[in-house]
Copies of this chain bind each other. A is one copy, B any other.
Amino acid sequence: MATVIDGRKLAKELNQQTKERVAKLASRGIQPGIVVILVGEDPASVIYTRNKQRKAEKLGIKSILKKFPADVDQVTVMAAVDQYNHDDTIDAILVQEPLPDQLDGQAITNAIRPDKDIDGLHPTNLGKLYANQPGNYPVACTPRGVMTMLHHHHVELAGKNATIVGRSILVGKPMAALLNNANATTTLASRHTRDLAAATRQADILVVAAGSPHLIKAEDVKPGAVVIDVGINRLSSGKLTGDVDFEHVQDVASLITPVPGGVGPMTIASLMQQTVDLAEWRHNGQK
């Protein structure tokens, strides 16, 4: 029976550390600030954005929600990014996905100042991560939170096989880069992968971010594997469930995250942690 990672507890501990760092910055007259740019009224985005705001305020981080109607044009969003790029009270700029079709999300991402790019999506930050450059730069918060969980549970990574299912820029690719930088042998699988079970069964560390409920069954998992479930799917019953068949996979894995209460809370806690990082790096002139 696998040990179940308590993401809520870990997130609470991390948030406590973040709060203390915010207090230290306050004594220097600095308050970290994050702006979330939200376009339209996508219900999941509205909820997620609200959660981020509440958490930020609770930790003493300045939080701004910049809302645009669903039919906003590119120039208007780009002007807002430019404004926050130059706003000294803002350390972190987050553009909530998904964006409506008329917007060029990539141009918006590339316009964010790399040192305010809280999601680590700017090519300069992603490239530094992929190159395993030393120094300070933001990394996507979900994979960062996963690394914190693995570290907390003393999961050995060097020389181990890590398979990542799903290759988004926000999760799969930075996750693969982080695991590779930790000297794991990484396999990046996607919906194109023909024999997904072969790719997952070789994994000592399996990270699933496919957005497909119960995609991974017990027989797809190597006995003793560490299984990290990034999926959050809402079933027709209203119940939240992951990409992993938790009930059965927990009999095979050695360590596993639940949904909800696993990766989710750690993502928001890592977002707060990194907002404070960005504030510290910028105010200390670190690179």
Interface hits, A92-132 → B, CB 8 Å: 106, 121-131
Answer yes or no: A214 CB below 8 A from chain B CBs: no
Complex CA gap A194/B126 in Å reads 27
Size band of the A side of the interface?
35 or more
B133 touches A127 (CB 8 A): no
- A187 is an interface residue with CB less than 8 A from chain B: yes
Q: A167-B180, A186-B187, A198-B202 are in contact. Are A130 and B173 (CB under 8 A)?
A: yes
Determine which of B161, B183, B188, B198 lies in contact with A180 in the assembled complex, contact meaning CB atoms within 8 Å. Answer: B188
* Integer count of this chain's copies in the complex: 2
Look across to chain B and name the residue whose beta carbon is closest to the beta carbon of A110: B133
The 4 closest A-B pairs by CB, nearest first: A127-B127, A123-B127, A126-B127, A183-B192
Q: Known contacts A123-B123, A183-B190; can you find 9 more A-B pairs with CB under 8 A?
A: A123-B124, A126-B126, A126-B131, A127-B128, A130-B177, A131-B173, A183-B192, A185-B188, A202-B202
Measuring CB to CB, which residues of chain A are less than 8 angstroms from any residue of chain B? Answer: 106, 121-131, 133, 158-161, 167, 169, 173, 176-177, 180, 183-190, 192-194, 198-199, 202
